[in-house]
Amino acid sequence: MDKLLSWPYGAIYKGAAAGELFQLVTTEDSKPLVVESPIFCLDAEMVSDFAYQGCSGPAEITDDISQWSITYSSRRFPDVELTVVMRVCRHSPIFRFRYALSSDSERKLSKRNEADELRYMEISTAQGPMQVTEIQLSNFNPLVHSYYPIEVVRDCGELSVGTQFAGPLVFFDSEATCGLLAFEHGSQHPNTFLEFAAEQTDEVFKIAIHAVKGNYYNGQPVSKQQPFESVWFQLALVPESKESLQRHYREFILKYMSTNQESRKPYVFYNTWNYQERRKYFDQQPYLSEMNEDRMRQEIEVAHRLGIDVFVIDTGWYIKTGDWTVNPERFSDNLRGIKSLLDSYGMKLGLWFNPTVAAKSSQVVQELPHCIMTRDEQPIYHPQIWETEGSYGMCLASEYSDWFIDKLIRLHDELGVTYFKWDGIGQYACNSPLHWHGNETNSPQERAESYAYELGRQMIRIGQAVTDQRPDVIIDFDVTEAGPFVGLGFLAVGKYFLVNNGPYFHDFDIPKWVKIQPDTINVFFFPGPARPRFCRTGVLYDKYIPSNLFLTHYLPDQPRVSQANSVASLVLGGQGIWGDLIALSDDDVRYLAEQIAKYKRVSSAVVESYPRTVGTIGSSPEIYEKIDPEAGCGMVVFFTVKSGRFRYVTQRLKHTNVIVDGADTWEVTRNQRLVLTVNLDDNDARVVYVLPAD
């Protein structure tokens, strides 16, 4: 076989038979993993006969990541070309690839039976009988009002009759090897746009990825000027265990999946929204009643004392949506004074946006009226956006997305914004025939499905364009409700805002006629240990995806047991605070600042550490170990519902000359483990920090 490229974890070879794109080989004596060609329906004919033409590269994307382009042409239709863009990292066995399908003569993607006809790939290996572990990332549980991951294991018996499932991440393992396959898109499970099909036949394991709906629209043109581009896929094969590959995968997500490393850093965030809610629910005042420079300056002073890194001004800082210009009645100097104060404290400025709305009188609505979202030919209109002017929905799957890219870059350059919070983006909205998701020949349903799929791709494209041009930018996507674009795709360019205030009263079937005062909508709006229990669901992702990519804000209010639970949850990955900062006492500020300062001493090690856990959320005890064993640096976090004395033994550490802060007693065993003991009261929490002594 001809080798196309290699890196320390394997090599890519040309396909050895007709219909093969390439083969992945990990060791000289291992059997290859074969990747079959995609199958497209072009002009009502199935095209899969792609023959190798050439390979170019590498192009250096970062110091660690190289990109290669492998080209193929159809034997039957020589004008049709397939390019496989492949990115490999010298420090990871996981690599990414995507397709670009083009043609010298304009052709059209087809749906002969009103359904997507597209198989992206089928991979196969003869490295022994496999079991499959599907990782679902987008189950929304209304009882905790949060997304969380689900593992589903399928053994050889189930695979022998074939099975289909949503993913988007799959591990397949035998006694000698383990692999993974994933796609970078998203949807709420089980409403999926792509799916897997797996089968174990004799000694050969096969798994494919198919389009389900919306991946293209019937009649979508394909040419050199308008190639069809797939989402990114992820693939790996290692002669190691599944747990070992999971560790590789977590490191890949943290360090190598995204070129935007700002989104991966363990910053501590503050957001103004919770105080705005308190004004509404507790004081019966408008949300924006104290959205002004004086209030922001006071909050910044407290945030600085706490050790906040990113200060986010939520909705209301602007005159109107779409224009996104600073409201001079609230901030007379275009936020220059706020930015100067933040700069003096080494803090970053963040602002709230809804990328899919623009005020009726905004400039973009006047310039791009054809980009307004419509549903069944009726414009989508929101009478009010958080006490500001009513707005039209704007379709991101249209040229409006280019306008929005330029707007974000200008706001970065003019105002110094480096954190953009995206909110209010639902996956199903537009079925206009005027945009990039269908035309008059497609049904409204097909256009709506194509929009829902394309919306996610455009969100990624916008994020990639902005962060490529302004690498200090972080984009955070709010997914605190059911229905948005949740999966692996957005993590290539940013992070998620996972939980707002937790469950609503209606999530528990509490009737509307039951009066609760004040009516906060959310059940867990108040301080205490209950709210952190519901809000720290991000820790459930941590063995696959670092939990610091799931931002969650915790309340800083007394009583102290609430503060202890908030801090202990924050350091596990939520990394956010919101509330009435100005109302905090000096003692409150001192306590919280000390805890945040301690966390920052170990935060890099914590983010990189693979988790070890005892118990589940709400158990007694509930323990999380996040220690880098090589450096002897990290933390162990304890929670309990019932009081008790709890003992925990860490993994073996390479260096045991450490300082332990927070344990009631501790010792080092002869096999280089720490034995930590803490005494906790009812509903208590404790963080034990471990630092190298030298």
Assess whether 274 and 230 both reside in one domain. Answer: no
* Residue 188's pLDDT band (cuts 50, 70, 90): confident
What pTM was computed for the model?
Answer: 0.96
- Domain with residue 498: its CATH number is 3.20.20.70
Residue 439 is assigned to a structural domain of this protein = no
CB 462 within 8 A of CB 398: no
Domain boundary among 212, 231, 255: 255
Picking from 56, 40, 58, the residue whose alpha carbon sits closest to that of residue 48 is: 40
User: What are the Cα distances from residue 486, in Å, to 103, 152, 216?
Assistant: 32, 18, 20
Tokens 């256009």 appear where? 447
Q: Which residues contact 328 (CB under 8 A, 6 or more apart)?
A: 319, 334
Assess whether 293 and 321 both reside in one domain. Answer: yes
Assess whether 246 and 335 both reside in one domain. Answer: no
Assess whether 322 and 464 both reside in one domain. Answer: yes
Domain span at residue 628 reads 614-692
* Residue 451's pLDDT band (cuts 50, 70, 90): very high
Instruction: Give the Cα separation of 160 and 323 in Å (integer).
Output: 57
Picking from 255, 309, 268, 267, the residue whose alpha carbon sits closest to that of residue 492 is: 255
Angle, to 10 degrees, between the axis of helix 400-415 and the axis of helix 444-469? 30
Domain boundary among 202, 224, 255: 255
Tokens 């609230």 appear where? 330
Tell me the pLDDT of the chain averaged across its residues: 96
Assess whether 328 and 426 both reside in one domain. Answer: yes
Residue 390 is assigned to a structural domain of this protein = no
| pLDDT at residue 28 greater than cutoff 80 | no
Picking from 323, 336, 322, 325, the residue whose alpha carbon sits closest to that of residue 293 is: 336
* Residue 141's pLDDT band (cuts 50, 70, 90): very high
Assess whether 633 and 569 both reside in one domain. Answer: no
| pLDDT at residue 1 greater than cutoff 80 | no
Query: How many domains are there within the chain?
Result: 3
Is the sign of the CA dihedral 636, 557, 575, 539 positive or negative? Answer: positive
- pLDDT at res. 512: 84
% of residues, the chain, pLDDT over 90: 91
- pLDDT at res. 694: 79
Residue 446 is assigned to a structural domain of this protein = no
- pLDDT at res. 164: 94
- pLDDT at res. 202: 81
Structure tokens that stand for 138 in this block: 């987008």
Assess whether 130 and 164 both reside in one domain. Answer: yes
Residue 371 is assigned to a structural domain of this protein = no
Instruction: Give the Cα separation of 228 and 221 in Å (integer).
Output: 8
Mean pLDDT of 403-411: 98
Assess whether 280 and 203 both reside in one domain. Answer: no
Assess whether 248 and 265 both reside in one domain. Answer: no
CB 280 within 8 A of CB 286: yes
Mean pLDDT of 659-688: 97
Least-confidence region, from 47-51, 158-162, 669-673: 158-162
Assess whether 202 and 331 both reside in one domain. Answer: no
Residue 278 is assigned to a structural domain of this protein = yes
Residue 10 is assigned to a structural domain of this protein = yes
